[in-house]
């Protein structure tokens, strides 16, 4: 029986007490025990408390995953501060927005991102302390993480922790074009799985003998959640600080990985590696995928190669990760309709489909998908109106359009919002459009997602030029790259005389999408 954990400090302390010498993490061939994680997390917590931080103060991390990342995660939890995880692929202005919006006071930063921080340093509004995770250059006046951490006691702070305390804040893009901080409490990492276990649902059968491949970044709920689930059962995780396909394959063999989690694009990259066909996958017992729909041909190839149970999950940061699952028994290629499903609600999760008036719809009627999960968010940070729209009476409005069949399977058909899912990343056209609109030669711009075998969807920009301009695609792309993370930059640009509009003047994106999607069967790929 899995121990009954309520909070992250509870998890690290009990595992350090019960299995101190068990390996918790593997990073660059270093074996790191639960006892080491607990002691170093305590040092981080004591250091944060000595900085005078009050409970719920925001502490951010901008770094690729490492052992320090998890020391900081649990250290923040133990000091009752809130860890803000920042996508390290963002550009300077995007990072600046998150740090200022979250009112972060302490920032842990990977050495390679120090120049970015230098660039935005004059505009940081609340930062009091910056700590470099690797030893900083002598020319940079930042605290060194290792020496700072080791100055402090490894004794656990004498604090009380509640399951309802916010412990992490993960930023997700929004339809307004500005990212929103999703506040997740300790319970988001424990309640769903605990409820499933109480009902006898073994799900992936995560256990103490497991070695998980940690190839999803901690700044995503999927990566953070996956790591914590492995620790709950007393397993170990092999950390990739950034996803490199050949290295992922190497780790699977080297450490006899038993459970793997990837987004479809990562699967495709691995399968394109020359070493894929010679990799020994015999240790892999379960493969978790999600973040975006998967091409049937890719799924079949992956299942044939790995010969293990495949689990597709559907959820979002706001639901605390997974809420719906398509299990191995449903991965049956003789039932093509079933394979297109996102899955069934997990035990403890409720689903409803509503029309635009909020009325419940019957089986096979298409409407917006709403999820009620015991792992759902507390709300958006400082976004009361957005919270009220998304979280109503415990229900999360997903913004996805779909239906539920008579057997309870959920099918996702389209999105209420124009969100694009590029390799598991949520992109919002309005954010890309706003950035491109700053170009002096652009009169109007509309961005849509178009199908891509490799990425699921890619952003395409339709641009109306101002009179007298003759823009080149490469100029537009160069302009975009200066203002947004690379994964948000349109992969395709088309110049048009005008954008299609309805009588009230609204751009008809469905008209722009139709030539690309009319043979796809659904408006997500």
- Asked whether residue 231 is assigned to any structural domain, the reply reads no
- Asked whether residue 446 is assigned to any structural domain, the reply reads yes
- Asked whether residue 79 is assigned to any structural domain, the reply reads no
Q: How far apart are CA 93 and CA 335, in angstroms?
A: 47
Collapsing DSSP to helix, strand or coil, 508 comes out as coil
CATH number of the domain encompassing residue 459: 3.30.300.30
- Asked whether residue 380 is assigned to any structural domain, the reply reads no
- Asked whether residue 493 is assigned to any structural domain, the reply reads yes
Residue 415 clears pLDDT 80, i.e. is over it: no
pLDDT 10s digits, 308-345: 999 999 999 999 999 999 999 999 988 888 988 999 99
pLDDT 10s digits, 460-502: 999 999 899 999 999 999 999 998 999 999 999 999 999 998 6
Q: What count of other Cβ atoms lies within 10 Å of the Cβ of residue 45?
A: 29
DSSP conformation letters of 325-380: EE-GGG--TT-HHHHTS-BEEPTT-EEEEE-TT--B--TT--EEEEEE-TT--SEE
193 phi, psi to nearest 5 deg: -65, -35
pLDDT 10s digits, 106-122: 999 999 999 999 999 99
pTM of the shown model: 0.86
Residue 60 clears pLDDT 50, i.e. is over it: yes
- Asked whether residue 189 is assigned to any structural domain, the reply reads no
pLDDT 10s digits, 8-21: 999 999 999 999 99
User: Residue holding tokens 């059962």?
Assistant: 233
pLDDT band at 176; cut points 50, 70, 90: very low
Residue 205 clears pLDDT 50, i.e. is over it: yes
- Asked whether residue 404 is assigned to any structural domain, the reply reads no
Residue 417 clears pLDDT 90, i.e. is over it: no
pLDDT 10s digits, 248-291: 999 999 999 999 999 988 998 999 999 999 999 999 999 999 97
pLDDT band at 401; cut points 50, 70, 90: confident
Mean pLDDT across the chain: 92
Residue closest to 61 by CA, chosen among 102, 12, 9? 102
Pair 80, 56: CB distance under 8 Å: yes
Residues 6+ apart with CB under 8 A from 367: 353, 354, 355, 356, 361, 401, 402, 403
Task: State the total domains in the chain.
Answer: 1
- Asked whether residue 297 is assigned to any structural domain, the reply reads no
pLDDT band at 363; cut points 50, 70, 90: very high
Task: Identify the domain containing residue 441 by its residue range.
Answer: 420-517
């Amino acid at each position: 029986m899995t121990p009954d954990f309520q909070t992250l400090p509870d998890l690290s302390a009990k595992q350090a007490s019960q299995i101190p010498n068990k390996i918790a993490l593997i990073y660059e061939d270093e074996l790191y025990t639960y006892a080491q994680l607990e002691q170093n997390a305590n040092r981080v917590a004591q250091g944060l408390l000595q900085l005078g931080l009050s409970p719920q103060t925001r502490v951010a991390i901008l770094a690729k995953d490492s052992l320090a990342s998890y020391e900081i995660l649990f250290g923040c939890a133990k000091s009752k501060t809130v860890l803000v995880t920042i996508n390290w692929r963002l550009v300077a202005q995007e990072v600046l927005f998150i740090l200022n919006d979250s009112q972060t006071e302490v920032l842990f930063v990977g050495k390679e991102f120090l120049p970015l921080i230098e660039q935005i340093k004059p505009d940081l509004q609340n930062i009091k302390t910056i700590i470099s995770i690797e030893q900083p250059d002598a020319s940079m006046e930042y605290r060194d993480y290792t020496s700072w951490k080791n100055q402090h006691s490894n004794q656990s702070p004498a604090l009380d922790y509640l399951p309802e305390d916010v412990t992490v804040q993960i930023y997700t893009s929004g339809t307004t074009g500005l990212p929103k901080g999703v506040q997740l409490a300790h319970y988001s990492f424990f309640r769903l799985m605990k409820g499933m276990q109480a009902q006898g649902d073994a799900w992936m059968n995560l256990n103490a003998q497991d070695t998980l491949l940690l190839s999803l970044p901690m700044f995503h709920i999927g990566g953070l959640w996956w790591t914590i689930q492995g620790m709950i059962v007393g397993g170990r995780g092999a950390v990739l600080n950034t996803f490199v396909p050949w290295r992922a394959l190497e780790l699977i063999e080297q450490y006899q990985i038993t459970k793997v989690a990837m987004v479809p694009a990562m699967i495709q990259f691995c399968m394109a590696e020359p070493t894929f066909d010679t990799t020994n996958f015999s240790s892999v017992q379960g493969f978790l995928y999600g973040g975006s729909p998967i091409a049937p041909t890719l799924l079949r190839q992956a299942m044939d190669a790995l010969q293990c149970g495949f689990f597709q999950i559907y959820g979002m940061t706001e639901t605390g990760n997974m809420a719906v699952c398509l299990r191995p028994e449903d991965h049956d290629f003789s039932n093509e309709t079933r394979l297109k499903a996102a899955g069934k609600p997990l035990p403890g999760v409720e689903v409803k489909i509503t029309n635009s008036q909020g009325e419940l719809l019957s089986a096979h009627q298409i409407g917006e998908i709403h999820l009620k999960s015991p792992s759902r968010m507390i709300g958006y940070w400082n976004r009361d109106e957005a919270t009220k729209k998304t979280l109503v009476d415990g229900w999360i409005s997903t913004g996805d359009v779909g239906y539920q069949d008579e057997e309870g399977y959920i099918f996702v058909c389209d999105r209420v919002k124009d969100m694009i899912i590029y390799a598991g990343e949520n992109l919002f056209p309005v954010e890309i459009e706003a950035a491109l609109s700053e170009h002096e030669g652009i009169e109007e711009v509309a961005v849509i997602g178009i199908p891509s075998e490799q990425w699921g969807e890619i952003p395409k920009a339709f641009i109306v030029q101002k009179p007298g301009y003759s823009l080149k695609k490469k100029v537009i792309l160069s302009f975009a790259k200066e203002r947004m993370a690379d994964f948000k930059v349109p992969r395709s640009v088309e110049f048009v005389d005008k954008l299609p509009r309805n009588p009230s003047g609204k751009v008809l994106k469905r008209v722009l999408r139709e030539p690309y999607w009319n043979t796809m069967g659904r408006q997500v790929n």
